[in-house]
Amino acid sequence: MSVQTRIEDKLQILEPTYLQVENESHRHSVPPNSETHFKVTLVCEAFEGVRKIKRHQQIYALLAEELAGPVHALALHPYTPQEWQSRDGARPDSPNCLGGGAS
């Protein structure tokens, strides 16, 4: 099972109304077909009344195995349905990779 699929499966416990897991590894200095850099956009009712840091901590706990192993970077964009609607379904773009030796 791919790392992306494992992430998607594990996050289902939060009963998302919207979930998008994007493998952004190709944008970084890693071998082809890597699964090391991900962007997660997650919208769910469970985040109602929960501060952003706690949302991140919840997701980190669910993905502890992946973060301890193959996942090097994880960009998180967790929203409540109301927050998501107020953003018109938009989340920030990821910055370009500067590369391993870039300054």
Average pLDDT rounded to a whole number, residues 66-79:
93
Residue 62: which pLDDT band, with cuts at 50, 70 and 90?
very high
Assess contact for 42 and 84: CB atoms under 8 A.
no
User: What ranges in 3-102 are assigned the alpha helix state H?
Assistant: 3-11, 52-62, 64-68, 81-86
Name residue 74's amino acid: L
- The CATH fold assigned to 3-86 is GMP Synthetase; Chain A, domain 3 (3.30.300)
Give the SS3 label for residue 37. Answer: strand
Does this model's pTM top 0.75? My answer is yes
Output 12 or 23, whichever has higher pLDDT. 12
The predicted-structure confidence for 26-61, as pLDDT tens digits, reads as follows 676 666 767 778 999 999 999 999 999 999 999 999
